[in-house]
């Protein structure tokens, strides 16, 4: 969305979906991991046509079985991404 400001040139929403995988080593134990779903959403802005700032909340889930004991795994993160946009 275009906004009327001398500093912020645009605002946008972010949506992400995908598969999540689990990589781990548990020594001599027998482990299996099932893939889950990755979801993320957030918002971003461009400042002065060159600096990108985004805030994203993401969540991954899956399941893990170690030596026959199964459990669910959930991981959430909040990230702040900052970048610089330039023309090549």
Tens digits of residue pLDDT in 40-60: 999 999 988 889 999 999 998
Q: How far is CA 60 from CA 20, 33, 35, 37, in A?
A: 6, 13, 9, 6
The structure tokens 């199964």 sit at: 70
Structural contact between residues 38 and 53, judged by C-beta atoms closer than 8 angstroms:
no
**Could you tell me if residue 49 is left (phi over 0), alpha (psi between -120 and 50 degrees) or otherwise beta?**
left
The pLDDT profile of the chain, 88 residues, written as one tens digit per residue, is 556 667 777 889 999 999 877 666 666 666 667 778 999 999 999 988 889 999 999 998 888 777 778 888 888 999 999 999 887 7
Question: What's the confidence (pLDDT) of residue 82?
Answer: 97
pTM of the full predicted structure?
0.71
CA distance 27 to 16: 33
């Amino acid at each position: 969305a275009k906004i009327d400001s001398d500093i912020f040139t645009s605002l946008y929403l972010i949506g992400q979906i995908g598969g999540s995988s689990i990589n781990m080593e548990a020594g001599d134990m027998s482990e299996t991991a099932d893939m889950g779903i990755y979801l993320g959403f957030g918002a971003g802005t461009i400042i002065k046509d060159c600096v990108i700032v985004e805030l994203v909340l993401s969540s991954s889930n899956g399941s893990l079985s170690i030596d026959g004991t199964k459990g669910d795994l959930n991981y959430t993160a909040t990230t702040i991404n900052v970048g610089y946009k330039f023309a090549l």
